[in-house]
Amino acid sequence: MAEDLCFITKDTLIIKAPKKSPLLLRMLLLAFAMVCGVYMCTICLKQTTSGHQTKNKFQNIELIDESQRCDLSGIDQSEIHYLHFPNPKTFSREECSCNPVRYFAILSMQRSGSGWFETLLNSHINVSSNGEIFSVRERRINASAVVKTMDKIYNLDWFTSASKNECSAAVGFKWMLNQGLIENQKVVVDYFNKKGVSTIFLFRRNQLRRMISARILAKYKPKIDTSGLIRELQKLEETIRKTLDYFKSTRHIVLYYEDVVKNRTKLADVQDFLWLPRRDLHSRQVKIHRGHLSDHVENWKDIEQTLKGTSFESFIGADYRK
């Protein structure tokens, strides 16, 4: 902290000092700068020669310095907590070291279009979304493994095909609810709030479609067990409702796959949400599957019969067409 003070005072003094200031004033200024310098040196020496604990602290101070060195005027106060100046261990951000980076996470479920959505985001020159990081079990084996993994991603030290360069302005990954997210949600919500991570929820409105889409992966024209269907749909909606509720204290946006497919303005909303310059996003990946659901399952009549008159009736008819 003392260091920062020195920096600020030094800068402002130099800027404010009039060109023709009397010699005495200049001498005073010089002496002050020297005292500051010596003081900083002693702090540096103390920090580097002492143990591991203080070394960590020192790194933090460096991080703070990084952002104070950068011009934050013009940035809205409400955004400051969500803008970061990571200092990667593996490379230098060089000319972009003062470009702020936003942290995000896409929370979703399998067969909800998150793969397609992520390729759209990654088509933005300044976005790195690193895929399903937590599909690997060791990374979510316990809370500290989860935190360590996120630290590495957000410090830009995680390398995937999606990692961009020193000019990334938003970095994140996608996280399926069943990949250790629910088990670790307290730690994750705390982390998101403390570190200023923005949450992008991506769900599917039609959970029946999602369910059938998952079954089709295993079998062509599957037969859906209708006896447990309503309970299963209820459970899915409950999981989504609980997750939304649990993460409501984080800065978030809720998107539905069907809306993004139909309405490209949603992609502009996402870019605005992350304070990114708006770009046209594109993906060559095909959307999940087309056509009416009845073409994809063996026992459509049973399903219709089961859902008629329930709160899930809309899943039978409502369909986006492309």
Ligand X SMILES: *[C@@H]1O[C@H](CO)[C@@H](O)[C@H](O)[C@H]1NC(C)=O
| Residue with Cβ nearer ligand X (258 or 302) | 258
Q: How far is the CB of 296 from ligand X (least distance, A)?
A: 26
CA torsion 90→93→94→96, rounded to 10°? 170
Alpha helices per DSSP H over 50-177: 52-69, 77-80, 114-122, 143-154
Give yes or no for residue 125 binding ligand X (CB under 6 A): yes
- When binding is defined by CB under 6 A, the residue of 3, 269, 304, 319 that contacts ligand X is 269
Find, among 127, 174, 172, the residue nearest to 152 by Cα.
172
**Are the CB atoms for 315 and 292 separated by under 8 Å?**
no
How far apart are alpha carbons 285 and 34 in whole angstroms?
60
Per-residue x/- mask for ligand X, residues 139 to 168, rule CB under 6 A?
--xx-xx---------------------x-
Give yes or no for residue 232 binding ligand X (CB under 6 A): no
Give yes or no for residue 322 binding ligand X (CB under 6 A): no
- When binding is defined by CB under 6 A, the residue of 106, 156, 169, 197 that contacts ligand X is 169
Give yes or no for residue 249 binding ligand X (CB under 6 A): no
| Residue with Cβ nearer ligand X (169 or 188) | 169
Give yes or no for residue 263 binding ligand X (CB under 6 A): yes
How far apart are alpha carbons 89 and 134 in whole angstroms?
22
Q: How far is the CB of 209 from ligand X (least distance, A)?
A: 19
Q: How far is the CB of 191 from ligand X (least distance, A)?
A: 15
Residue number, nearest CB to ligand X: 167
| Residue with Cβ nearer ligand X (102 or 215) | 102
Backbone angles phi, psi at 188, to 5 degrees: -70, -45
Of 40-48, 187-195, 246-254, 261-269, the window that binds ligand X (rule: CB under 6 A) is 261-269
How far apart are alpha carbons 197 and 195 in whole angstroms?
6
Token pair in block for residue 262: 């139909």
Q: How far is the CB of 165 from ligand X (least distance, A)?
A: 6
Q: Integer distance in angstroms from the first to the last C-alpha of the chain?
A: 58
State the residue for tokens 């990334």.
168
Find, among 149, 146, 130, 134, the residue nearest to 184 by Cα.
146
Q: Which residues bind ligand X (CB under 6 A)?
A: 96, 99, 125-126, 141-142, 144-145, 167, 169, 263, 265-266, 269, 277
